[in-house]
């Protein structure tokens, strides 16, 4: 007769392999991810023969879309009146007075809105103004 109780040891789960696999997956996704900044708004830029790819360190971006919507630094304006445009520009340039204004207008955007943005910038004494265009390809 056996009076001793059989000792059952708890099974061990080795997590080393699982952790290795998780780290390998993490590294794979980090390497395979593209770090390309995509614009939230699609704007079909016009082309120009004198377009350059200069980048100003501090810019305030003003976007005019094809369907006549206005955005200033990814925030949509409530309306397209000149007073609203001027107030938005004044507010942005109060925060960053040394910045340059970059107007990114769709090639099919209403011309009057682009002129309104440029006129409002002049009224707010913003002198560093640029218009974004793509480089024209020779065919």
pLDDT digits (tens, 9 = 90+) for 16-43: 888 999 999 999 888 887 665 555 666 6
* pLDDT value for 56: 45
pTM over 0.85: no
Structure tokens given for 130: 């640029």
Q: Residue 124 falls within a domain, yes or no?
A: yes
The Cα–Cα gap between 56 and 52 comes to 12
Domain range for 52 is 47-135
Q: Residue 5 falls within a domain, yes or no?
A: no
Structure tokens given for 22: 């998780």
Give the residue ranges of DSSP H helices in the chain. Answer: 16-32, 82-95, 111-123
The Cα–Cα gap between 97 and 90 comes to 9
Residues 104-130 as b/e (b if ≥16 CB within 10 A, e otherwise) read bbbeebbeebbebbbebbeebebeeee
Q: Residue 2 falls within a domain, yes or no?
A: no
- Total domain count, the chain: 1
* pLDDT value for 54: 55
Q: Residue 41 falls within a domain, yes or no?
A: no
β partners of residue 103: 62, 131
* pLDDT value for 51: 62
Q: Residue 130 falls within a domain, yes or no?
A: yes
* Neighbour count for residue 89 (Cβ, 10 Å): 20
Inter-residue contact 77 to 88 (CB < 8 Å): yes
The Cα–Cα gap between 115 and 112 comes to 5
* pLDDT value for 119: 92
Q: Residue 97 falls within a domain, yes or no?
A: yes
CA nearest to 120, candidates 58, 62, 44, 78: 62
Q: Residue 69 falls within a domain, yes or no?
A: yes
Q: Residue 60 falls within a domain, yes or no?
A: yes
Low-confidence ranges of the chain (pLDDT < 50): 56
CATH number for the domain spanning 112: value is 3.30.420.270
* pLDDT value for 36: 56
């Amino acid at each position: 007769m056996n009076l001793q109780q059989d000792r059952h040891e708890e099974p061990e789960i080795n997590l080393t392999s699982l952790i290795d696999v998780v780290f390998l997956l993490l590294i794979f996704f980090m390497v395979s991810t593209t770090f390309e900044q995509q614009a939230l708004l699609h704007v079909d830029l016009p082309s120009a023969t004198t377009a350059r790819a200069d980048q100003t360190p501090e810019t305030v971006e003003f976007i005019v879309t094809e369907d006549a919507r206005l955005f200033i630094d990814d925030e949509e304006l409530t309306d397209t009146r000149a007073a609203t445009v001027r107030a938005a520009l004044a507010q942005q340039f109060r925060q960053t007075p040394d910045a340059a204004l970059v107007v990114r207008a769709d090639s099919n955007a209403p011309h009057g809105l682009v002129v309104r943005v440029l006129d409002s910038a002049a009224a707010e004494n913003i002198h560093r103004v640029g218009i974004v265009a793509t480089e024209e390809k020779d065919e």
